[in-house]
């Protein structure tokens, strides 16, 4: 079977790599069509082919630059993305991201098509439900990572398939001091970093480790006490070091995505998590007993949950065991098998 995985804007390169490699191990002929990742080096493609053919100018000229010219140039280059996808010849075309929904609604495919709705309805166009209804119905099958995601798309008349987001493999070890709270991943407004800082302020003797690339101003946040900042795109070794030092990871998100890759990185390292009950974040934590799920926006509950894990050795051990169960069951090979079953249904 020939499968074209496409992530034109390279929004989730690590997810793309792990899924493509797992499908390759399952005997699938996989091409990953994407663009140059602007923020760091990626693993070598093993068991699949990676072609960085999309957005050749904007992804190379601007790299990490926030130049105002990048997005207009990228919009022009998007026309080539649409042409390439519409002409793609494979047994299945599996698209990971729709970078420009207003234009993507004109997509046509020659082959059976699949779309993974990582963010359900992306933030910039979430209010345009009719646009997303028409766009998602162009695909033969839509994948989501949670039952809540499936329910959300059902309201648009889209019958999505749930394939759980696997955990990311990690070389991290438990080398923490028993009091370190981790806020991991790209720093964006919806991720609720001020709530993590406030919970840390309320818990004497703790420290907060913020590890990730800022995609928002940090004005006023950098002055917080007992916070260590490791800013920028983290290499694999730097990521493992941060996870090794973490006792508990926190994800006080607002509801703007289906699942969190950073959460799955934490669980993949055996680090328990405390999450707000938004989108699908709570599902793996509840299912595996890998931490605590608290009401969205409730800083007091967030603080109490973190305190309950840090102050109770038995509770922390149980949550770590839950994270280990998630690591052993939510594997990329298991996800590849589910994807392959779905692809076969379409042929």
What tokens does 336 get?
């590849």
Please identify which residue in the block is written with the tokens 């009950």: 277
Residues spanned by the domain of 161: 2-166+331-346
pLDDT of residue 258: 87
The answer to the question of residue 174 being in a domain is: no
pLDDT tens column, 110-151: 999 999 999 876 555 556 788 888 999 999 999 999 999 999
Nearest by Cα to 249 from 321, 180, 162: 180
In tens, the pLDDT along 252-266 reads 999 778 899 999 999
Q: Is 60 within a domain?
A: yes
- List, for residues 295-320, the tens digit of each pLDDT value: 999 999 999 999 999 999 999 999 99
Confidence of residue 333 (pLDDT cuts 50, 70, 90): very high
Q: Which CATH number characterizes residue 146's domain? A: 3.40.50.2000
In total, the chain counts a number of residues equal to: 347
What is residue 49's predicted lDDT score, i.e. its pLDDT?
97
In a domain, 173, yes or no: no
Same domain, 28 and 149: yes
Do 193 and 321 share a domain, yes or no?
yes
Number of domains in the chain: 2
Give the pLDDT of residue 345.
97
Q: Is the pLDDT of residue 65 over 60?
A: no
Asked if residue 131 belongs to a domain, the reply is yes
Going 192 to 195 to 201 to 202, the CA torsion angle's sign is negative
CA nearest to 60, candidates 47, 44, 48, 77: 77
Looking at the structure, tell me whether residues 186 and 283 fall in a common domain.
yes
Phi, then psi, of 274 in degrees rounded to 5: -115, 120
In terms of domains, do 317 and 337 share one? no
pLDDT of amino acid 78: 85
Say whether both 157 and 194 belong to one domain: no
68 and 144 belong to one structural domain: yes
Pairing of strands 2-7, 29-34: parallel
Looking at every residue in the chain, the average pLDDT score rounds to 92
Query: Does 263 reside within a domain?
Result: yes
Question: Based on the domain organization, do 18 and 137 belong to the same domain?
Answer: yes
Q: Do 342 and 296 belong together in one domain? A: no
pLDDT band at 64 (very low <50, low <70, confident <90, very high): low
Helix (H, G, I), strand (E, B) or coil at 211: strand
């Amino acid at each position: 079977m020939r499968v074209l995985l496409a992530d034109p804007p390279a929004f989730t390169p690590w997810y793309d790599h792990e899924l493509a490699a797992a499908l390759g191990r399952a005997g699938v002929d996989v091409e990953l069509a994407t663009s140059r990742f602007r923020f760091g080096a990626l693993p070598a493609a093993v068991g699949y082919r990676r072609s960085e053919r999309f957005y050749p100018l904007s992804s190379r000229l601007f790299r990490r630059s926030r130049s105002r010219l990048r997005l207009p140039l990228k919009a022009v280059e998007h026309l080539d993305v649409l042409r390439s996808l519409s002409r793609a010849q494979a047994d299945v075309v599996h698209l990971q991201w729709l970078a420009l929904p207003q234009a993507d609604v004109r997509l046509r495919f020659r082959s059976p098509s699949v779309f993974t709705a990582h963010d359900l309805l992306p933030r910039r166009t979430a209010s345009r439900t009719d646009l997303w209804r028409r766009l998602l119905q162009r695909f033969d099958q839509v994948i989501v990572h949670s039952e809540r995601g499936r329910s959300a798309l059902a309201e648009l008349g889209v019958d999505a398939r749930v394939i759980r987001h696997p955990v990311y493999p990690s070389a991290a070890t438990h080398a923490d001091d028993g009091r370190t709270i981790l806020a991991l991943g790209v720093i964006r407004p919806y991720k609720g970093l001020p709530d993590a800082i406030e919970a840390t302020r309320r818990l004497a003797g703790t420290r907060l480790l913020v590890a990730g690339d800022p995609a928002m101003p940090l004005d006023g946040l950098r002055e917080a006490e007992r916070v260590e900042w490791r800013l920028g795109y983290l290499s694999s070794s730097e990521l493992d070091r941060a996870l090794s030092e973490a006792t508990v990871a926190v994800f006080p998100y607002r509801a703007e995505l289906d699942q969190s890759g950073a959460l799955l990185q934490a669980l993949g390292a055996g680090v328990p998590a405390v999450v707000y009950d938004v989108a699908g974040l709570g599902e793996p934590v509840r299912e595996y007993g890998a931490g605590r799920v608290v009401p969205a926006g409730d800083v007091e509950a967030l603080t109490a949950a973190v305190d309950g894990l840090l102050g109770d050795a038995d509770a922390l051990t149980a949550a770590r065991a839950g994270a280990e169960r998630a690591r052993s069951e939510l594997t990329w090979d298991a996800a590849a098998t589910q994807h392959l079953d779905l692809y076969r249904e379409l042929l």
